[in-house]
Amino acid sequence: MADEAKAKGNAAFSAGRFEEAARHFSDAIALAPGNHVLYSNRSAALASLHRYSDALADAQKTVELKPDWAKGYSRLGAAHLGLGDAASAVAAYEKGLALEPSNEGLKAGLEDAKKAAAAPPRRGPSGPDAIGQMFQGPELWSKIAADPTARAYLDQPDFMQMLREVQRNPSSLNMYLSDPRMMQVLSLMLNIKIQRPEASESSQSSPPQQQQQQQTPPPDTKPRTREVEPEPEPEPMDLTDEEKERKERKAAAQKEKEAGNAAYKKKDFDTAIQHYTKALELDDEDISYLTNRAAVYIEMGKYDECIKDCDKAVERGRELRADFKMISRALTRKGTALVKLAKSSKDFDVAIETFQKALTEHRNPDTLKKLNEAERAKKELEQQEYYDPKLADEEREKGNEFFKVQKYPEAIKHYTEALRRNPKDPRVILPPLFLTMPLSRTTYETLGIVAGELVPWLEANNWSSIVLYLQVYSNRAACYTKLGAMPEGLKDAEKCLELDPNFTKGYTRKGAIQFFMKEYDKAMETYQAGLKLDPNNQELLDGVRRCVEQINKANRGEISQDELQERQNKAMQDPEIQNILTDPIMRQVLTDFQENPRAAQEHMKNPGVMQKIQKLVSAGIVQMR
């Protein structure tokens, strides 16, 4: 029974199902607790899951049961290296080589460990990755267990599932920040007392000195960076004749694949096809042979053949329960072929749908890029077919009329239609209600208006009787704001500034939208950028005043509990806030605010530091009293 559990563990490990492999090895250990190989295999599975502390315990047990077995020291070295203890890893690998000097795995591991020991300390990643990786180390569990509030979370299955997901994928942390339990654990890991709404009332009754101590989070130790450890492998089992033959066929198929890859690099596509086809005949359980052959068909322009191979790869991959990444690759290749065909058929929908399916299997940046390109190509095709300058003028005038009478939804509809009918139309004659401003000849020429009858007409009218179609974006942004559609309005306001960075009205539109979205620090930056162009603009000055009022309210704690929680949740998903909290310099500054007021005053003289502190205050993470 122990051998059967071991065999299941080996099979799961080979398929990349490390959690399952660890469970089978545990079952085997329960049946045969004196078998050192079982501890060794479970150590390999746990190391593959980055559970290095548990892997180290199993490796030590392996060496204890079989001190003259070199493989045990390989496991020991890999676990130490995963925990960042390069010196202990070197010692372990050297002990193993003393028993088996010719072991290549031990040699490679020793080389990696020595490189890690000799390498200077590296700064860890920044932003969300740095925060997410704080959940990787063994100190996570000790900190949670030591905290009276967080300790109870360990008995809650849904919370434990969240933690495991963050450990597997640090970038998924942002998905769970709305959960107060995750925010509590995050504050433990950062060693920051983030003010929570439920703590607001009690903090108001605390002595001033205690409140000052609570306002500034001290820094934590920098997250440990890990060197890549050698790939662990389970112990081999005795093979039957049938298994040996299967293994030989797979090895031969891999050689054919390598030969096909070499031919592909030389652009000898016919030869590459032959090798990949031979590999498929030898081993039909590896769909990479199909996806590689599909790539060759794309280069040869045989798009229908490529699509057939990709469909086979997806179907066979489902049967074999292949890695989602391989399924995604096959779908991406198929989408690429469909895009090539769409250039003549003008049907991009099926290609877009295929790329979307690929992304549901595995979110690959290359696939996402191809999807965006296909959607852009479809949009350009639709614009070409929809282009009608005469109808664009009619729609624009309709939009102006509705805007005058404050019928904003109707105005948006007609402005949008005008832009669709003629997206590059440089002409918008503005009624008196609309804002007008003179634009220089340089501005027009920068935007490509340098030929035809328009330039002489503008010269005759002193270049000031007309403004570009950015006014349509500006007015549509105003309509969206009136309707509370802030994200859409923000896009239009940013489009105005993209078309003409000197368009002052664009800054007032953008700043107002950011203010309504309660992003007061960003609104302040927008208004200040506009004031550099027009220092006396009353709308911009009023915007700055309103932002200052809101930021001061946050400083004084005069905001509701719900608003405080909303600000904190939004802030912790902001990469800029995350970078500030993980910046070692800023964390030292925050510590000085709590422990060394004189040094803190010196820090405040630095405009960059002051700006970052203000962002934390605006976000509700830090309060100044």
Q: In terms of Cα–Cα distance, which of 174, 183, 131 is closest to 153? A: 183
Last residue of a domain, one of 515, 536, 558: 558
pLDDT for the residue 258: 93
Retrieve residue 18's tokens.
């490390």
Mean pLDDT (whole number) for 305-314:
94
For the segment 1-9, the average pLDDT, to the nearest whole number, is 83
- Provide the CB-side half-sphere exposure for 315 (13 A, CA): 6
Which pLDDT band holds residue 260 (cuts at 50, 70, 90)? very high
Same domain, 346 and 491: no
418 and 482 inside one domain: yes
From residue 185, alpha-carbon distances to 141, 163, 252, 283, 563 in Å are 10, 10, 51, 48, 21
**Mean pLDDT within 480-506:** 74
pLDDT at 436: 32
Residues 474 and 518 in one domain: yes
CATH number of the domain to which 617 belongs = 1.10.260.100
AA identity, residue 156? Q
- CA distances to 72, 104, 464, 535 from 98, rounded to whole Å, are 13, 13, 86, 76
What pLDDT sits at residue 522?
Answer: 84
* Residue type for position 605: K
Residue 277 lies in a domain: yes
Which pair of structure tokens corresponds to residue 140?
Answer: 């996570």
- Whether 434 shows a pLDDT value over 70: the answer reads no
**SS3 state at 309:** helix
What pLDDT, on the 0 to 100 scale, is given for residue 31? 87
Q: For position 624, what pLDDT does the model report? A: 63
From residue 376, give the alpha-carbon distance in Å to each of 156, 242, 340, 368, 585: 46, 52, 14, 12, 42
Is the pLDDT reported for residue 404 higher than 60?
Answer: yes
Task: Tell me if residue 224 falls in helix, strand or coil.
Answer: coil
User: In this structure, is the dihedral angle defined by the CA atoms of residues 65, 68, 74 and 79, taken in order, positive or negative?
Assistant: positive
Specify the pLDDT at position 474. 60
* Residue type, position 138, single letter: P
What whole-number distance in Å separates Cα of residue 59 and Cα of residue 49?
15
Q: What is the pLDDT of residue 452?
A: 37
Question: What's the domain range around 467?
Answer: 389-444+453-558
SS (H, E, C) 26-45: HHHHHHCCCCHHHHHHHHHH
pLDDT > 70: what percent of the chain?
A: 76
How much is the pLDDT for 553? 79
- Work out how many domains the chain is built from and give that number: 5
**Lowest-pLDDT choice from 76-85, 98-107, 201-210:** 201-210
State the CB neighbour count (10 A cutoff) for residue 612. Answer: 21
Whether residue 393 sits in one domain with residue 331? no
What is the reported pLDDT for 224?
A: 44
Residue 217, domain member (yes or no): no
**Span 497-516, mean pLDDT?**
84
**Token pair recorded at residue 57:** 């315990």
Judgement on whether residues 270 and 380 belong to the same structural domain of the protein: yes
Report DSSP state, residue 465.
S
The predicted-structure confidence for 143-164, as pLDDT tens digits, reads as follows 777 777 777 887 787 888 777 7
What is the spatial distance between Cα 376 and Cα 512, in angstroms, rounded to a whole number?
A: 30
Is 238 contained in some domain?
no
* Residue type at 311 in one-letter notation: D
Residue 361 sits in the same domain as residue 436: no
359 & 294 share domain: yes
Residue 338: pLDDT band with limits 50, 70, 90 = very high
What DSSP character marks residue 174?
Answer: G
Given a cut of 60, whether residue 364 has pLDDT beyond it is yes
Say how many C-beta atoms besides its own lie within 10 A of residue 67's C-beta. 12
For residue 170, give the DSSP letter. Answer: G
How would residue 444 be classed by pLDDT, with cut points 50, 70 and 90?
Answer: very low
Residue 323 lies in a domain: yes
What secondary structure letter does DSSP report for 388?
-
Own/partner contacts of 156-165, CB < 8 Å, gap of 24 or more, are 156/181, 163/135
In this prediction, residues 546-555 reach a mean pLDDT of: 81
Burial letters 502-537, b for 16+ CB under 10 A, else e: ebbbbbbbbbbbbbeebbbbbbbbbbebbbeebeeb
**What is the reported pLDDT for 480?**
61
CATH number at residue 271: 1.25.40.10
Q: Please tell me the predicted confidence (pLDDT) of residue 302.
A: 93
Contact 70, 76 (CB under 8 A): no
Which pLDDT score, from 0 to 100, does residue 270 have? Answer: 94
Residue pair 534/546 in contact by the 8 Å Cβ criterion: no
551 and 468 together in one domain: yes
Q: Is residue 203 part of a domain?
A: no
DSSP assigned state of 287: T
| pLDDT at residue number 202 | 39
- Distance between CA atoms of residues 130 and 109, nearest Å: 27
**Closest to 489 in 3D by CA, of 476, 471, 477:** 477
Whether 30 and 68 share a structural domain: yes
Residue 474 lies in a domain: yes
Query: Which two tokens mark 477?
Result: 């942004």
- Of 18-27, 400-409, 437-446, the one with minimum mean pLDDT is 437-446
| Rounded distance between C-alpha atoms, residue 611 and residue 407, angstroms | 41
CB 496 within 8 A of CB 525: no
- Helix (H) or strand (E) holding 476, with range, is helix 470-483
- For residue 384, what are its two tokens? 């070409």
Identify the pLDDT of residue 191.
63
Q: Are residues 394 and 524 in the same domain?
A: yes
The per-residue pLDDT for 206 is 39
Say if residues 189 and 143 touch (Cβ distance below 8 Å).
yes
Q: Cα–Cα distance between 80 and 88 in angstroms, integer? A: 6
Q: In whole angstroms, what is the distance from residue 279 CA to residue 276 CA?
A: 5
- Which of 558, 576, 606 is the endpoint of a domain? 558
Please say if the pLDDT value at position 255 is more than 60.
Answer: yes
DSSP 467: B
Looking at the chain, how many residues does it have?
Answer: 625
Which of 84-88, 111-115, 118-122, 447-451 is the least confident region?
447-451
Would you say residue 205 lies in a domain? no
- Helix crossing, 607-618 with 538-556: angle to 10°? 70
Least confident of 214-228, 482-496, 550-564: 214-228
pLDDT at residue 435, as a whole number: 31
pTM for the full model?
0.34
Phi, psi torsion values for 143, nearest 5 degrees: -70, -40
Question: Does residue 37 contact residue 61 with C-beta atoms inside 8 Å?
Answer: no
Backbone angles phi, psi at 285, to 5 degrees: -105, 10
Looking at residue 215, what is its pLDDT? 40
Spatial separation of the C-alpha atoms in residues 157 and 66, rounded to whole Å: 38
CA distance linking residue 426 with residue 467, whole number of Å: 8
Residue 82's alpha-carbon distances to 62, 73, 78, 94, 133, in angstroms, are: 17, 14, 6, 17, 14
Q: Is 240 left (phi over 0), alpha (psi -120 to 50) or beta?
A: beta
Whether 536 and 581 map to the same domain: the answer is no
Q: What confidence tens digit (pLDDT) does each residue in 33-49 have?
A: 889 999 999 998 888 88
Same structural domain, 549 and 411: yes
41/26 Cα distance (integer angstroms): 10
Q: Looking at 558, 576, 591, which one is the last position of a domain?
A: 558
Which pLDDT score is estimated for 389? 79
Q: Does 220 fall in a domain?
A: no
Q: How far is CA 286 from CA 83, 252, 495, in A?
A: 34, 13, 48
